[in-house]
Amino acid sequence: MKLIIDTDPGVDDAMALFWAHAAPEIDLIGLTTVFGNVRVDQATRNALVLCDVMGLDIPVAEGAGQPLVLPPFPPSAYVHGDEGFGDMPAMTPTRAKDPRDAVTYLTETVCAHPGEIVVAPIGPLTNIAAAIQADPEFAGNVKQIVIMGGGLKGGNITPHAEANFYHDPHAAHFVMTCGAPIIMVGLDITEEVTCVPADFAAMAAASPKHGQMLQDMSHFYLRFYAEYGLEGCGLHDPAAIIAITHPELFEMKRTGVSVVCEGDEIGRSVPSDEPTVDVAVGGDAAAIKALFMDRIGTLP
């Protein structure tokens, strides 16, 4: 199926993009970028660098540098490193970004292929909300929106809120209640899908370019998790992409979801009534991890 990933690369974003590239079920047709793990200009640069590594000449359209309503956030450099790929230095891509902004690229492409395109936001939902506001047909034309974000059991950036929803709660609430066909892949399952240093070493051995790059950027990311006594790091973004091709590995609950937009619990996902979405509340974490590693291992 045709897939556009909206991303803030980001270590686990890189894992997600490489896995999508390796997946025979997926035709990765474009990327849009958003602030979050890094500034949006860094996200665009990093997305173009990942396209160079994958050998993909696809549009990379730059999106929002700050939330819809809240003031700008500092990047999550303490998790993903100053340049977004852990300790790795900034790299210069061979290509330029697409001349269109993210909203123009998303609305033009989805409008031109109604019912065909899956959009997978794995960063704050600012671009997706803006696309829905810009084109009232977008929510009806998109085949599916598969989101890495939220979590019904709690948060990571605060005890209540997952980072992507926290970084733009207004956009998250708008998208989650827009009525589009949505799968929300949140912390309820993604925190169960983890890789330890030996897993990255195995992927590097199997995949000298892609796997090695993931190992190179994993050290900083793993150290962040180790500060909380966790041996492995969360495969948040790749789990969302795997939910597109292998939904049978996930336990889905159909419910409405709203997002708290003020106060101490800002960014929290709250079960609600209509419109309903599919929320991944669990799954076969071992199988998801194995599928991730196996397919990364097929890359050069």
Residue 238 binds Ca ion, judged by CB under 5 A: no
State both tokens at 228: 């909380």
Q: Which stretch binds ligand RIB (CB under 6 A): 7-15, 20-28, 64-72, 282-290?
A: 7-15
Q: Are 261 and 161 in contact (CB under 8 A)?
A: no
Residue 169 binds ligand RIB, judged by CB under 6 A: no
- Active-site residue, 8 included: yes
Alpha carbon distance 217, 11 (integer Å):
7
Binding residue for ligand RIB (CB under 6 A) from 98, 135, 199, 237? 237
Query: Please, what is the minimum distance in Å from the beta carbon of residue 297 to ligand RIB?
Result: 22
Query: Please, what is the minimum distance in Å from the beta carbon of residue 206 to ligand RIB?
Result: 23
Contact flags string 20-59 toward ligand RIB, x per CB under 6 A: ----------------xx----------------------
Angular region, 97: left φ>0, alpha ψ -120 to 50, beta rest: beta
Residue 168 binds ligand RIB, judged by CB under 6 A: no
Q: Restricting to residues 100-159, which ones interact with Ca ion according to CB under 5 A?
A: 122-123
- Active-site residue, 21 included: no
Of these residues, 80, 160, 170, 236, which one is catalytic?
Answer: 236
Query: Please, what is the minimum distance in Å from the beta carbon of residue 247 to Ca ion?
Result: 20
300 Cα distance to chain centroid: 23
Q: If we measure between CA atoms, which residue out of 33, 158, 164 comes closest to residue 101? A: 33
234 Cα distance to chain centroid: 12
- Interface with ligand RIB (CB under 6 A): 8, 10, 12-13, 36-37, 122-123, 148, 156, 162-164, 236-237
Residue numbers annotated as active site? 8, 236
Question: Rule CB under 5 A: which residues touch Ca ion?
Answer: 8, 10, 13, 122-123, 237
